[in-house]
Amino acid sequence: MKKEDTVKLISAEGFEFVISKEAAMVSQTIRNMLTSPGGFAETEHGEVTFPEISTTILEKICQYFYWSLQYSRGKETDFHIEPELTLELMMAANYLHT
């Protein structure tokens, strides 16, 4: 995959997740950051830092992006969420509009 087709998501602890731009765009918030013409630093470097989102949650979010893409293409599987993650994941999802 070419570099310009990917985006780097960085968690509160500094872990980096490199995922495809298409998957990241599942989040309305990230989509706005990457496409707005204002010349955000995020747009130029393809990097977004989330100081509020822990590594565990960000990993789950990335899994969800890919699951959501597949689901929209007709692959009907369940997305499992561990009960202990629900609260934090819910807040992250709320922030990311996904």
Tokens (6 digits) for 1: 């995959």
Our CB check for other proteins shows the closer of 37 and 72 to be 72
Q: State how far the alpha carbon of 95 is from the alpha carbons of 4, 28, 61, 76, in Å.
A: 25, 9, 12, 26
Q: Encoding tokens for residue 61?
A: 């979010």
For other proteins, which is the closer residue by CB, 7 or 96?
A: 96
* Of residues 7 and 65, the one with the C-beta less far from other proteins: 65
Q: Compute the least distance from the CB of residue 46 to other proteins, in Å.
A: 23
Instruction: Please state, in angstroms and rounded to a whole number, the distance separating the CA atoms of residues 98 and 96.
Output: 5
- Which residues contact other proteins by CB under 8 A? 28, 61, 64, 68, 79-91, 93-94, 96-98
